[in-house]
Amino acid sequence: MTEGTQPILALRGVTKLYRQGSVEVQALRGLDLAVEAGEFTAVCGPSGSGKTTMLNLIGALDRPSAGCVALEGRDLAPLSRRELSRLRRDRIGFVFQAYNLLPILTAYENAEMVLCLQGVDLDQRRKRVLGLLAEVGLEGLEDRRPDELSGGQQQRVAIARAIASNPAVVLADEPTANVDSDTAENLLDIMEGLNRERGVTFLFSTHDPRVMARARRIVQIVDGRVHRDEPQAP
């Protein structure tokens, strides 16, 4: 990190407690992590290690029990629900394992949705969405609904939707889990290209060795703490 700059994402001493009946479960235990703009980083770890909890906190879907989660230097803790909703809309992109597309909307409409919520002008929306769908290999499929697309094509729509608002970071939770090997490699080609050519910051939660092989940094979480944090050879 350049002296005087701050990471785009920082978790400091983050703890998250849950109650399961009368039992208190500590999902994260004083976790520290900093991510710089432009990273292509994979977070791995066994089931129950805290990966999904961490992504939920970064994505402003939940709040930590203790510690600080900051995006672009802004502590999320004091923000109201409305402010957090606006932050998710404008500064965080999401790519989910199950795609999470709206079934009644076309590929174009799914990718356009965030821009509509932002009030972006119709002509600007159209130019940006058509360009993104072409960039992820869906030119000519804009009017198809999710049930008319393959799993890989649906995930491409989800990627286009995630980056439509030029977010600070894209959180990708097991994005290759529901597709075959060739499709997974193709999706990774797309995301790696967006990272290198557009500077999109990607943070993956994954068990997939194909994702970890492409990542330029591997963070392993065990029992709610960072166990290993290493750069990968290019």
- pLDDT tens, per residue, the chain with 234 residues: 445 568 999 999 999 998 888 888 899 999 999 999 999 999 999 888 899 899 999 999 999 999 999 999 999 999 999 999 999 999 999 999 899 999 999 999 999 999 999 999 999 999 999 999 999 999 999 999 999 999 999 999 999 999 999 999 999 999 998 889 999 999 999 999 999 999 999 999 999 999 999 999 999 999 999 999 999 876
- What is the pairing mode between strands 23-35 and 9-20? antiparallel
The Cα–Cα gap between 157 and 137 comes to 9
pTM above 0.85, yes or no: yes
Q: How far apart are CA 197 and CA 191, in angstroms?
A: 10
Which alpha helices (H) appear in the chain, and where do they start and end?
A: 51-58, 81-91, 107-118, 122-135, 151-163, 181-198, 209-214
Rounded (10°) angle between helices 107-118 and 81-91: 130
Give which of 171, 197, 198, 176 is closest to 186, Cα–Cα: 176
Domain boundaries, the chain: 37-63+79-231
Token pair listed for 55: 């992504």
DSSP for residue 150: -
Q: So what CATH class is 37-63+79-231?
A: alpha beta
Radius of gyration of the chain (CA): 18
Round to whole Å and give the CA distance between 142 and 160. 12
